Amino acid sequence: MKKVIRIGFVFFLLFGFVGSASAISNKAIHWGFKKATNGEQADAGQEYEALLEKYGAFYKGSPDDKSLYLTFDNGYENGYTKQVLDVLKKEKVPAAFFVTGHYLRTAPDLTKRMVNEGHIVGNHSWSHPDLTQMSVPKIKQELNKVKKETERITEQKGMQYLRPPRGVLSERTLKVAQEAGYTHVLWSLAYKDWEVNHQKGWKYAYDQILAQVHPGAVLLLHSVSKDNAEALEKVIQDLKKQGYTFKSLDDFVMKEQIKNPALTM
């Protein structure tokens, strides 16, 4: 009888988990949403909202709270992150920087400064691939390399937040990331700012951000943008005048986890 039980348990280990994994969709989702206008929140639609909630992910906060969450994607260094950090320090604004392996290898001093000045360093993968096209072990390897190298450079303990490279995700990648201890952080405010040879001036960046801002916005800016760096101080100052407060992602999670227990998993 015990032998039968053992065989059954082994069968479950071999095939039960495989069946469970295969039932999870790996259909690629290219993150997008209806942009905010007139201070109303951006909207990704009920289907995406439910999927993110299931895995403790988020892209915006409460519509009743004029809090903003400033985030940057740092795929590589283009000479503007120091200016960004200087502005954040002057204005006492926290931010999250999602870094790649390339960034960690080429800009360790800036990464260290981010942590030393109280900012969050998050995971943007090692090589910026489409995670939906990778095996589960490869996804975990991509994320773990960033985590370990960030810890080595900065002495930051652990890494909680993940932004999927290229804004591509699936239910499978959400689940893999959650099981690895990550919270997916998407965004509700962005514009095409990453083309370094097509910058349009600080006023263009300023106008794009101010036109989309809304209560609870998670702002995505790219640190390679000269326009962003030059507009940032006025953006922050004018949004403060409108009654907005800049908060960290940690503040968001502490606030939201009561309403959504998945964020604590």
- Whether residue 2 lies inside any domain: the answer is no
43 among known catalytic residues: no
pLDDT of residue 261: 59
How far is residue 214's CA from residue 226's CA, in Å, rounded to a whole number?
24
- Whether residue 5 lies inside any domain: the answer is no
Which residue range forms the structural domain that includes residue 51? 26-264
Catalytic residue among 124, 128, 214, 222: 222
The domain total for the chain is 1
- Domain of 145, CATH number, reads 3.20.20.370
How far is residue 206's CA from residue 209's CA, in Å, rounded to a whole number?
5
pLDDT of residue 259: 63
Which mean pLDDT values do the consecutive 10-residue runs of the chain (265 residues) have? 42 39 82 92 94 95 95 98 98 98 98 98 97 97 98 94 97 97 97 97 98 97 98 98 97 75 52
Q: Can you give the pTM of this predicted structure?
A: 0.89
Q: Which residues contact 192 (CB under 8 A, 6 or more apart)?
A: none
- Whether residue 153 lies inside any domain: the answer is yes
pLDDT of residue 23: 72
- Whether residue 71 lies inside any domain: the answer is yes
Catalytic residue among 64, 73, 86, 207: 73
- Whether residue 12 lies inside any domain: the answer is no
- The answer to whether residues 24 and 171 touch, using CB atoms and an 8 Å cutoff, is yes
- Whether residue 10 lies inside any domain: the answer is no
207 among known catalytic residues: no
- Whether residue 17 lies inside any domain: the answer is no
pLDDT of residue 255: 77
- Whether residue 3 lies inside any domain: the answer is no
Phi, psi of 78 (to 5 degrees): -120, 15
